[in-house]
Amino acid sequence: MSAQETPNVAAKTTKTPKGAWTITFLLFLFMVVNFADKIVVGLAGVPIMTEMKLSAEQFGLLGSSFFFLFSISAIVVGFIVNKVPTRWVLLTLAVIWAVSQFPMVGTVSFTTLLICRIVLGAGEGPAFSVAAHAIYKWFPDEKRTLPTAILSQGSAFGVILAVPALNWIIVNHSWHYAFGALGVVGLIWVAAWLALGKEGPLEDTEVLAATEPKIPYVQLLTSRTFLGCVVATFGAYWALSLGLTWFTPFIVKGLGFSQRQAGFISILPWVFGATIVILTGWISQVMMARGYTTRVSRGVLGSVPLIVGGLILTAMAHVEGAGLQIALLVVGSGLCGAIYVVCPPMLGEFTPASQRGAVLAIYGALYTLSGIIAPSVMGTVIQRASSMLDGYLTGFTINAVVMIGSGVIGLLLLWPNTEKARLTRGAAAQGTALKGAVSPT
């Protein structure tokens, strides 16, 4: 490509193609379904434990089981979307989600429920990274933060919209039918995506794979910004996975609210989290437009709320009153949402587009490992505590420590604005060394 052609390419890629926001909205709905599927077990936790006579440890295992294949699936599919159009990958994932819900409609054993949650987790593991990769084919780098924020908000709206409806089904009919309703909704999304889903025009996967310079994966995955994103989001996801599994049981069994009341209270963290995520996406994009580096407008902006949120959670065990404890939990855990907005664009800054799907997927696979650990740790702590409320408060204190530590590490490591140049120089130096090693003497 000549020097004269380069500006034209840059000019083309800075314009958002027609249809980009339609795809963003469809993928937002994709994440709505994704998180509605996740929340249903936590929302129906008390009825499930009562009907199946489960202990706190068994229910913690059920919450963790969702993540058993989550990370493995994310990595495998991440490499697949480097070469396969995201349109078909997203369709396949959504079909798996829908089908895995229907066995719970009838009488179900604990083993069957466990297996279905493992299968669902395998289908949902790659969801966010594949959806982000798909959106980035529609938006240039400087315009990606807000679409990422909207995509992330599918999680909050999935809970906000689903919880009242699912809780109504649970209270007035049965928790079994709540799963069936989610299966039907999943199939509706599949039909909409078949009709309207398209591949983004800004990047051609096959062309990029053949022509774009590569950076060795070992350098990408050991870069400080990649490691910082993994650690920071690990702490945020610890809080999220507790919210998915244990928030409603905490409201009912720990604080004494009814299942009907808990249905409304359970949406509060997600409403607050949605506000944080949208604000973060907007503020980040404004800061970048005003000339701030992505170190500040993405790295610092995402890490500091984690630290502040963790500090707020530490106060839960030292205050009296259900209302105040809920407020601290809502605000403390809700602040975690900022990191989800900024990390995928940061990784996209320095990762070649033909390798981005795999890098985003590996990032997702690693940080979601906390989803295996956190629900099980909470269940064990509750089981062994002197009282149920003490167990919950101890579990949330552990969560606070994890958040503070991960936020501090993220603050130290997230430097995306200098990462690309450093990695490119490293790859070039390595290539030169290899050529020198094989050249004849």
Of 126, 153, 405, the closest CA to residue 275 belongs to 153
Question: What pLDDT score was predicted for residue 28?
Answer: 92
Which long-range contacts does 96-101 make (Cβ < 8 Å, 24+ apart)?
A: 96/120, 96/122, 96/123, 97/33, 97/34, 97/37, 97/123, 97/124, 97/186, 98/182, 98/183, 98/184, 98/185, 98/186, 98/187, 98/190, 99/183, 100/183, 101/37, 101/179, 101/180, 101/182, 101/183, 101/186
Residue with tokens 């949402």, as numbered in its chain = 337
Round to the nearest angstrom and report the end-to-end CA distance of the chain. Answer: 34
* Domains (range + CATH), the chain: 17-429 (1.20.1250.20)
Give helix then strand counts, H and E, for the chain: 23, 0
Which of 4-18, 116-130, 230-244, 272-286 has the least mean pLDDT? 4-18
Please state the rounded mean pLDDT for residues 156-179.
85
* pLDDT at residue 4, rounded to an integer: 37
Contacts of 115 (CB under 8 A, 6+ apart): none
User: If you ran DSSP here, which 8-state letter would residue 250 be given?
Assistant: I
- Could you give the angle at the alpha carbon of 138 between the alpha carbons of 232 and 120, nearest 5°? 55
The whole-angstrom separation of Cα 72 and Cα 361 is 10
Give the least confident one: 28-32, 139-143, 175-179: 139-143
The predicted pLDDT at position 24 comes to: 92
pLDDT tens digits, 190-208: 999 999 988 888 765 555 5
Q: Going by C-beta distance under 8 Å and a sequence separation of 6 or more, which residues neighbour residue 172?
A: none
The band of 61, judged by pLDDT with boundaries at 50, 70 and 90, is confident
φ, ψ of residue 31 in degrees (nearest 5): -75, -25
Tell me if residue 336 falls in helix, strand or coil. coil
pTM metric for this prediction: 0.73
- 5 pLDDT band (50/70/90 cuts)? very low
Q: Which of 234, 288, 218 is nearest to 408 (CA)?
A: 234
Q: Provide the percentage of residues in the chain whose pLDDT is more than 70.
A: 91
Tell whether the model's pLDDT for residue 420 goes beyond 70. Answer: yes
Residue-wise pLDDT for 306-350, tens only, equals 999 999 999 999 998 999 999 999 999 999 989 988 998 899 889
